[in-house]
Structure 1
Amino acid sequence: MKGHCLCGHVSFEITAELPPVYQCHCSLCRRVSGSSSNSALIIAAPNFRWLSGQSGIRSFSTESGFKSEFCQICGSPVPNINASGNAYWVPAGLLSEPVDTSVLAHVYSDSHASWDVGFLSDSLAKFAEMPSEQQWSELCRQHVHDKLANKA
């Protein structure tokens, strides 16, 4: 699975099955995306590879530690590695091909914009904050189990 920024300067490849997507409704993600939420995937570092443009990535960090990395040419948000170096945050909108995954959960749902209420009535999991790695892993495992059960 390949992906790239708006202008195509920054590109990458994911070499594993895609995990579920989450949508973050926090105020920082709304600002960086210019939308109601930021849709992203978490990809294990060994399953991620830069193809081009890595030297053209710029970064912005807030005092709280929120980090946004973006293409210096078009401004698109681009993947960035987490603090521990074991996974990449990947904006789902950068994926170039149709994907076999879906949104699994809404995070920071209590921080949603007052005008963004449609997601409140869907049946997806909602977290007031970012779920722990263990909570997210369990939710993903259950998702895979349900997906396999529905195929049978």
Structure 2
Amino acid sequence: MYYCHCSMCRKATGSAFATNMLVRETDFTVKTGRSVIKAFQSSPGESRYFCSECGSPIYSKAQAREGIVSVRCGTIDDDLTVRPTEHIYTASKARWFEICDQLPQYPEEPEP
């Protein structure tokens, strides 16, 4: 789980950052509402999936991360056992937002 400050995540959430979690696609299941999830290509090789009824962003998939989905944690109702571990793309974070925690910060996406 991580905080992403890239401009695309900021625009997709309408906030200073998105809280995302990388999950193996084989471990990811949409339990309800699958029929109303729509996709759009947000950039070459990346698609974002959202609820076509309320507009909520649900997850994204990128060719560069084959077999992995990036889940928008704000859409999960249950408490998660994991917590955010880092801030990524801080080079493009909102200038009006100050990061106040002690988590590692990366100007871009760190190497795995």
Report which of the two has the higher share of helix.
1
Q: Which has the larger radius of gyration?
A: 1
C-alpha distance after superposition, 1:27-77 (max 9, x if no partner)? 111110000001000011221122232231122223454532210000000
Partner of 2:23: 43
Partner of 1:124: 103
Superposition RMSD in Å: 1.8
Alignment of 1:28-107 (within 5 A): 28-83=8-63, 84-107=65-88
Partner of 1:25: 5
Distance in 1, matches of 2:81 and 2:71, equals: 15
Q: Structure 2: which 5+ residue stretches go unaligned?
A: none
* Inter-CA distance 81–64: structure 2 relative to 1 (3 Å threshold): closer
What percentage of residue pairs aligned between the two structures are identical? 29
TM-score, length of structure 1 as denominator length: 0.66
Quote how far apart the aligned CAs of 1:131 are. Answer: 1.7
TM-score, length of structure 2 as denominator length: 0.86
